[in-house]
């Protein structure tokens, strides 16, 4: 993890947020799918999520 990302993650955790980091979009997608399995989820016009689509 690069220094900037590490600092941002530490700051987020210190404010009570959970932080996960992934090497690939596929790893992030698999994690996301496990986290929302069986739940209803909505999200706004997320460019990050759009860019992860194949």
Give the pLDDT of residue 5.
Answer: 87
Which residue range(s) make up the domain with 36? 3-51
Residue 5's SS3 state is helix
The pTM of the full predicted model, rounded to 2 decimals, is: 0.57
Domain count, the chain: 1
**pLDDT tens string 10-53:** 999 999 999 998 999 999 999 989 999 999 877 777 888 788 77
Does pLDDT of 8 surpass 80? yes
Neighbours of 48 (CB within 10 A): 9
């Amino acid at each position: 993890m690069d220094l900037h990302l590490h600092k941002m993650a530490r700051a987020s955790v210190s404010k009570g947020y959970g932080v996960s980091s992934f090497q690939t979009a596929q790893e992030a997608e698999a994690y996301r799918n496990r986290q929302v399995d069986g739940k209803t989820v909505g999200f706004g016009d997320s460019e990050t999520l759009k860019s992860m689509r194949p």
